[in-house]
Amino acid sequence: MTPPQSKNFHTANPEAESAIDRSIPEFEAAKISDEDEYFQNHKPPSYLPEIEKEVQEFIEYHRKNTQKRIALVTSGGTTVPLENNTVRFIDNFSAGTRGATSAEYFLENGYAVIFLHREFSLLPYSRHYSHSTNCFLDFMTEKNDKIEINPKFADEMLKVLRKYNDAKESNSLILIPFTTVNQYLYTLKTVSECLHVMSSKALFYLAAAVSDFFIPQSRMPTHKIQSSATKDGELVIRLAQVPKFLSRLVENWAQGAMIISFKLETDNNILIKKATSALDRYHHQLVIGNLLQTRKKEVVFVKPNGDNDWIKLNEDEIKGNVEIESKMIPAVIKVHDEWIQSNSS
């Protein structure tokens, strides 16, 4: 259905050999002083108070009316601007598939979802018909001078439409955007603090691919970097480390909530080790490990008790387009059930 020239090429698929090597030593977890320093030296986005109000209303609505659990799902990649009036920025590969797909399964399983996502990345429900590999126009057809849904796709589309309308009518989904890493950090902190009232009924599912490096505001040029700024024909950019705020999230911002982080690697031999070391450092409840090359087919749940549980799609499931998130989310919810149980006694 898609135009022939775009059918089989996926330029975003990585060559395994040349993919990112993350085998560098881990950074230190951020301390309170790192938090103070970062938030004192970086301005919050101007719209943050509006987001805070919307999120608070959303949480209050569910606390009073539905008693639903609330999942904060982060999704997509952050940008690192090179200039204040940003012409250029550093980005990463994430399209937000994991986050958008997982959000749908949380909603289907009775959760309310705060979807903190990279603006213009994939969204729950509309993801089925957006982006160039799934152009919405291919789902339409023309008949007697009128536009119609192609009957071939109508049943599937009706299912998606119903779920989308359910989420809207039950006020179960709120979409909160970010673009830069600074916007992401401020918004994550604000939303986490709002979720504090939910205690163990809040679940953090941190699937966004957040940059490890950035240019601090104090060093950021106001205007577009000129070619005359190069030295000997080279442009040298000095990046600072983004503080590892997961420690602050666990210890302070979202104390009592169930927290799941993701660990992305490209080398199978270090995945479990890196995921385990994240658990040791941050003391949260679950790390979901995945490899860039196989992330849509297999993930591993690394738990504080030493268990490593793989979730994999078999050949039939892959052929049948089963989404791995349809198996991951029920498993996540089981862990959340246990977390709520252990916090209520």
Q: Which residues bind ligand 9Z3 (CB under 6 A)?
A: 94-98, 206-207, 209-210, 261-264, 290, 295
What's the rounded Cα separation, in Å, for the pair 204 and 254?
9
Q: Nearest approach, Cβ of 248 to ligand 9Z3 (angstroms)?
A: 13
In the complex, the smallest distance separating the C-beta of residue 91 from ligand 9Z3, rounded to whole angstroms, is 12
Least Å distance, CB 244 to ligand 9Z3, is 8
Query: How near is the Cβ of 60 to ligand 9Z3 at its closest, in Å?
Result: 29
Whole-angstrom Cα distance, residue 151 to residue 156?
A: 10
- Tell me, what amino acid is at 105? Y
Cα(51)–Cα(118) distance, rounded to whole angstroms?
A: 15
Sequence-distant (≥ 6) Cβ neighbours of residue 89 within 8 angstroms: 79, 80, 81, 82, 180
| Residue placing its CB nearer to ligand 9Z3 in the complex, 59 or 202 | 202
Say which residue the tokens 């980005």 belong to: 91
- Nearer Cβ to ligand 9Z3 (282/339): 282
Question: Three-class SS of residue 124?
Answer: coil
List of residues 6+ apart from 184 with CB closer than 8 A: 74, 78, 116, 178, 208, 210
Q: Which is nearer to ligand 9Z3, 62 or 98 (CB)?
A: 98
Closer to ligand 9Z3 at the Cβ: 121 or 190? Answer: 121
Closer CB to ligand 9Z3, residue 113 or residue 206? 206
User: Hey, what amino acid is at 76?
Assistant: G
Residues 16, 266 contacting (CB under 8 angstroms): yes
The smaller minimum CB distance to ligand 9Z3, of residues 94 and 190, is found at 94
CB of 144 to ligand 9Z3, least distance (A): 40
Structure tokens at 180: 């830069």
Q: Which residues are CB-neighbours of 74 under 8 A, at least 6 positions away?
A: 99, 116, 117, 184, 188, 204, 205, 206, 207, 208, 210
Maximum separation of any 2 CA atoms in the chain, in Å: 68
94 vs 179, beta carbon nearer ligand 9Z3: 94
The CB-of-266 to ligand 9Z3 minimum distance in angstroms stands at 10
Instruction: Tell the smallest beta-carbon distance from residue 98 to ligand 9Z3 (Å).
Output: 4
